[in-house]
Structure 1
Amino acid sequence: MPWEFFLGNAAHRLIGYMYGVNHPQNRVFYNTRTLSEILAERGTGDPSRLLKHERNLRPDILDLSSRNLFEIKPWNDKGLQEGRQEAKTYLTALNRAVMVGSAFNAGADFQGEILIRFARGQYIWRLEWHTTEPGVVQYRWTRSQQRFASEAAAYEVGQWAELTEQEMQEYGGWVGQAVDEMVSRRERLATFSGAVGIVIEVMGNAATGFFSSVILGRMSTGAQQPPAQGGGQIIPFPTRPPPVAPPAQVPAAAGVSLPRR
């Protein structure tokens, strides 16, 4: 598959995964279930009230517990417009058919960032996302402006540059594979208060990203040291205020939306 798909898919999977990390007790759907199926969950609504074209729609994040909905889109004006329209379409359909509980709403205040570290001295990549308006989460990929010995050093400097097309072509598949492997393990992660950053290490030609059970034990006791072994670390990132608007120039990979399944 093209590198654009790998990076778009990786962004959707990581953002959805981190939403689950932040809301471990909630019943949440991630672009794998249709509106008809979601409304039938525990008698939430009447799928027969959906219009024909609405029945197979799949929201990116739909939290049945909090009744919040998010659409995940690239960090540009087109993404914002598409996310706004899709969130409105989904909410209209859901609230027409809802029978049990309160109405569904456009979600807010969901943001974060993830660092991806490569072996052999490449730049450190970053996936960043913010709820730019209720119901719309926008993301972008960037990289450190220089090479760093650690992801913590890169984060401390906080200087990020757009990825070149060559970089995305060369490493996009590795990143996509690392993300897919990590998310597929579906390990429960403890979280710090505030924003949390994940570091996924991409090793050689076989990308791997995983989180050792050691992390959970150390974090549950309040320790913040990374595990002695393993390809992934969790480090606390202080919450930063979101930008007021998406930048005019964004990486080419950020212009790819995850195809509906």
Structure 2
Amino acid sequence: MRWELFMGGAAHRLIAYMYGVKHPDRQIYYNVKTIKAIIEETGIGDASFLLPDESGIYPDITDITRRSLFEIKPWHERGLLEGRQKARIYLAALNRTILVGKRFTGGMDFHGEVLIRFARGQYIWRLEWQTKEPGVVLYEWTRSKERFESEKAAYAAGQWTDIKEEELRQYGGWVEKAVEDMVSRREKLANLSGAVGLVIDSVGEAARVVLWGAILGQMSGPGVQQPPAQGGGQVIPFPARTPPATPPAQVPAAARMPLPQ
């Protein structure tokens, strides 16, 4: 796969997972379910009102509980424009099926960051995301300016720079694998314990780095994977810093109405 696909896939997987971690009590669907399947499984609307080309589309995050959705795109002008267009299409499709009750709107106030730690003192990579306007989450990959043995030191330094294309080509596969392993492992543990995800919100900042490893280390047996060995990467969730206090844009009227065919 091209490195762009590795990095985009890793970003979507992590951001969607972290949304579920932040809202463990909500009914949420990710981009493995079509709008048609979501409507039929939840009974929130009548899927027969979908247009022929809408049955197979996949919103990135559909929050059934709050009746909101998000489209995830890279952090640049083109990403914003594409995200805005996709969000409008998804909202128009979903709301066309709802005959009674609250309609869907673009989600707001979802932001965060995670760090990727490589073995043998590589740079620390960071994935940051913010809701730039209702329904559109933009993400950006950066790395520490210096090499750090500790992700805590990199986080404290707070100095991030763009990642060179040759680095993305070299390490993109590692990042994607580390993310997939981490998310899959924690989803399995969540099914076993019913409590995974609450840890990130309930412990102090200093413990956030090591607590997941402690939980995984206490569990053993067939089917339970251990943290990745040296040579790969480890994903470290961190609390998001408060974003700039800029008021979000209003949802355009077109986001609440069917698009012209």
TM-score by length of 1: 0.78
Structure 1 match to 2:119: 119
Matching residue's letter, 1:16: A
Question: 2:114 touches 2:238 (CA, 8 Å); kept in 1?
Answer: no
**In the aligned structure 1, how far is the partner of 2:66 from the partner of 2:39?**
14
Contact kept, 8 Å, 2:106 with 2:135, in 1: the verdict is yes
Matches within 5 A, 1:27-176: 27-176=27-176
The residue type equivalent to 1:40 in the other structure is E
Aligned to 2:241: 239
- 1:96 positional shift: 1.0
CA distance in structure 1 between the aligned counterparts of 2:212 and 2:203, rounded to whole angstroms:
20
Shift of 1:236: 4.8
Structure 2 counterpart of 1:241, one-letter code = P
- How many residues are aligned here? 224
CA distance in 1, matches of 2:204, 2:56: 33
For 1:45 and 1:195, locate their aligned partners in 2 and report how far apart those are by CA, in whole Å.
Answer: 42
Gaps of 5+ in 2: 190-195, 219-225, 229-233, 247-261
Distance 2:16 2:215 in 1: 23
Query: CA separation of 1:174/1:216 partners in 2, compared to 1, >3 Å: closer, same or farther?
Result: closer
Deviates more, 1:46-55 or 1:99-108: 99-108
The whole-number CA distance in structure 2 between the counterparts of 1:60 and 1:39 is 15
CA distance in 2, matches of 1:139, 1:130: 7
TM-score, length basis structure 2: 0.78
| Deviation readout 1:24-79 (Å, 9 max, x if unpaired) | 12111110111111111232110110111111111000011111100000000000
Identity of matched residues, %: 53
Counterpart of 1:144 in 2: which secondary structure? strand
Between the aligned partners of 1:148 and 1:183, the Cα distance in structure 2 is 24
RMSD: 2.8
Residue 98 of structure 1 and its aligned partner are, at CA, apart by: 1.2
Query: Retained in 2: the 8 A contact 1:87–1:106?
Result: yes
Matched residue type, 1:240: T
Q: Which deviates the most, 90-99 or 229-238?
A: 229-238
Structure 1 residues without counterparts, runs of 5 or longer: 201-209, 218-228, 245-261
1:214 equivalent in alignment to 2:215: yes
The answer to whether the Cα contact below 8 Å between 1:10 and 1:179 also exists between their aligned partners in 2 is: yes
Deviations 1:53-112 (Å, cap 9, x if unpaired)?
111111000011111100000000000001011101111111110145311110000000
